[in-house]
Structure 1
């Protein structure tokens, strides 16, 4: 009798994508997989909603179940004075009863485990009530996990927020010194602010499950993984096992994902020399001011390098409301410098809003990746063996920049991101560094070595495969204890 694994991510594409890849690992081990999703608030304008539908359509072997919507919650969301991010973080708590009803619909002997997103920590209570083994999925890296796990101890007793510390380095086991300003913005506020309290509580509860599955490979973040296994990591608390089961990265569109036609940018890439193109892409919500977009264009123009640039309409990435709204299509003639498209037409391609990132990164023509340092993008860059230039924008991306440049050795930093504006000269200089210099060639070699490590980790007998097998063994033992 096949057992069912229930996966419970937050309804954000950056969380659903790696969870869908985790589902494929479960499927390969003979499980039935159901992904349960609480309806995102403001569905009509939420840019993630349609993308999640596309992910479901592209993965017919995974059963997707949307919980019945709590209508008043949607009304409250639309008119609430609260920060939208806070309201999103509170959603899983409101859906606890709905989740419980769904889990009860599956015969207990067939229910293998519940794997929850770290931001769905309230579901731990539901699993405990039903006697179901519950595990946390951490869609970021082990280094980020090490930081947020140790943060409550650092903050205990503080009367003021960390924001006042500026770039003062903070010391955490397992990671390089971390400027306070690089923590997630939600964790910098005053300890008594509701958004801060909610975020801190979520991360503290995230390790209250039976174990944590992390989207990384152990050799890439070995310092952080060892710290998480150190009894001194969080004084007075025994952390659960950490299983490094990644990188969990989407395959190319030609490998199982449904597409009506191949994107035009891939045809253009096919005609470019090997490792000659700089790919600039900042995620679905990575927006810049009109002035910053022009500055990027000037830098690209002066660099003389071939480029593929995904451009979003101008916006404010620090406005949490804008992150939850469907972006409009950019007017390239209006936002790019006059004559830019004409001057660069023989060596550059500008794409509006979206490109198939995994396919682009794995195209032989791609030689560098200017990225916002989202963890999914970081893993995709590593798996493609493409050196990266870090331009972090929000969430944990500034933390990732530190790990990528100082620990993993897979990236260089775009200077100026801390001030919120990077000049054309820096764009030109760093692109030339990666594409033309000895330092760039050394960076390239390190990333290719990391790619080989990642591929080996995912093979049968590799570290990530072995970690997943160990996880299944531990769930089996735990399940037998719970049944007794």
Structure 2
């Protein structure tokens, strides 16, 4: 079969297989979904399948923390030598997914054939819908797990139609794109990998949108209060048979890291700061700034006079997602060395810079943190929502510009630098950084966003209560798996 697996699942009434694409933004929420699947009732087990390509030590620790009723399987590495060095991360991921389909088929067959536990449902994540080819061949019900929001999923599903009805680059569209129940989006705010029709990633994104329609349903990491209008509009389309049904089962938020996180020096530094006074600055596991933007951000933070905690990563002038698969640097080197000369010394009284990683959930929930300068990745967004912290939106890649629009224009949770900042080649100047940081932390707009964040924190906490909307949605889709198992 060519796969490595651990903790072979015991014979059970219901067994579910989940498939996670590479990257922390996908592994973490899929692992959380697996936990919730097996926690639903006795006799429910799961297998979480990942890829050898682009795996990391962080992924291994996430998988190791899963309960015993979740087994794991790793699909063997597939060659990527023929891809050009400049291939986008989406192209790399989609190529891995497509080339590993034979090994995935072998794995599912081994679970379906006696004495295997059977497969009541197959759940690939957002970037793996090509895998439905295998589950459909084997007559296994398939559900797509959307690790981001329903607006982004709606956009991906609409990409084939946009491709068919337009010829220009999307940034040149004369009118905004209006998706049902969603905030209008300018062409430049659409998904990052469709912004260049000549790039191979563009054609793969068209395929992605078509293949996602093969799902029996969409399990979405969002919740009603966050996207109520979008959910209502999507249900109308589903009821008409245009889309499979969507189940809003979020928010999935990491629990406290414990251990290493509890000992992190930045938490001790936060303990010494006044309530709500610190701006947390982090661009997620993959977000990367250019050298020039790093210098302007540093100068702006310094000029703002506000307290900050900045997780600094190595800059890149070529790729805003350069950290997505990790970086191999000598231990003697540190991203702090790429900050402007004297910056760390000059800001000792107000700021703290941390290289590479910090315990984000603990930081966002600390009493001293009053704002989050974020790339608007969906995991980070939900973690900020769960903590009741407003955002300064600084999108970089993937669907992050769309998230920034939603957070600022509909949810009221975020402030943004001027409208054309954070663009493809735009550099946000230090003066703009300083102004928007001051506004978020001490201005009227920041106070309004903070109040909205507190309100949404309350509704997020209730989503998974005993009769909460997310729990009801999860029970509805999980009930279908049991029916499928009995029918089988």
Aligned length: 466
Q: In the alignment, is residue 147 of structure 1 matched against residue 155 of structure 2?
A: yes
Counterpart for residue 95 of structure 1 = 100
State the alpha-carbon separation in 2 of the partners of residues 81 and 189 from structure 1: 14
TM-score (norm 2): 0.89
- Per the TM alignment, residue 194 of structure 1 is displaced from its structure 2 partner at its CA by 3.5
Counterpart for residue 469 of structure 2 = 463
- Contact 1:118-1:203 within 8 A present in 2 as well: no
Counterpart for residue 85 of structure 1 = 90
Counterpart for residue 248 of structure 1 = 252
Question: Residues 253 and 206 (structure 1 numbering): CA distance in 2 closer, same or farther, change over 3 Å?
Answer: same
- Per the TM alignment, residue 344 of structure 1 is displaced from its structure 2 partner at its CA by 1.7
Question: Residues 260 and 422 (structure 1 numbering): CA distance in 2 closer, same or farther, change over 3 Å?
Answer: closer
Q: In the alignment, is residue 340 of structure 1 matched against residue 343 of structure 2?
A: yes
State the alpha-carbon separation in 1 of the partners of residues 119 and 140 from structure 2: 8
Counterpart for residue 219 of structure 1 = 225
- Which structure 2 residues correspond to residues 22-421 of structure 1 after superposition, within 5 A? 22-30=33-41, 31-40=44-53, 46=54, 48-61=55-68, 62-70=70-78, 73-77=79-83, 83=88, 85-107=90-112, 110-165=118-173, 168-190=175-197, 194-231=200-237, 238-254=242-258, 259=260, 262-316=263-317, 318=319, 323-324=324-325, 326=327, 328=329, 331=334, 334-415=337-418, 416-418=421-423, 419-421=425-427
- Per the TM alignment, residue 372 of structure 1 is displaced from its structure 2 partner at its CA by 0.3
Counterpart for residue 4 of structure 2 = none
Question: Residues 389 and 202 (structure 1 numbering): CA distance in 2 closer, same or farther, change over 3 Å?
Answer: same
Counterpart for residue 43 of structure 1 = none
- Contact 1:213-1:244 within 8 A present in 2 as well: yes
- Per the TM alignment, residue 57 of structure 1 is displaced from its structure 2 partner at its CA by 2.5
RMSD: 2.4
> Which of 16, 29, 38 is equivalent to 1:18?
29
TM-score (norm 1): 0.90
- Contact 1:169-1:178 within 8 A present in 2 as well: yes
Which segment drifts farther, 3-12 or 455-464?
A: 3-12
Q: What residue ranges of structure 1 are gaps of 5+ in the alignment?
A: 41-45
The structure whose residues are more often helix, as a share, is 1
State the alpha-carbon separation in 1 of the partners of residues 138 and 399 from structure 2: 33
Question: Residues 205 and 331 (structure 1 numbering): CA distance in 2 closer, same or farther, change over 3 Å?
Answer: same
Which segment drifts farther, 28-37 or 106-115?
A: 106-115
- Per the TM alignment, residue 295 of structure 1 is displaced from its structure 2 partner at its CA by 1.4
| Cα-to-partner distance string for 1:112-154 (whole Å, 9 max, x where unaligned) | 2111112111111211122211100011101111222223223
| Cα-to-partner distance string for 1:58-107 (whole Å, 9 max, x where unaligned) | 3353322112334xx24445x67755532321222222221121112224
State the alpha-carbon separation in 2 of the partners of residues 354 and 52 from structure 1: 15
Q: What residue ranges of structure 2 are gaps of 5+ in the alignment?
A: 1-11
Three-state SS of the structure 2 residue aligned to 1:103 is helix
| Cα-to-partner distance string for 1:429-475 (whole Å, 9 max, x where unaligned) | 11111111222222111001001000000111101001000111222
State the alpha-carbon separation in 2 of the partners of residues 11 and 239 from structure 1: 26
State the alpha-carbon separation in 2 of the partners of residues 64 and 17 from structure 1: 14
State the alpha-carbon separation in 1 of the partners of residues 20 and 130 from structure 2: 12
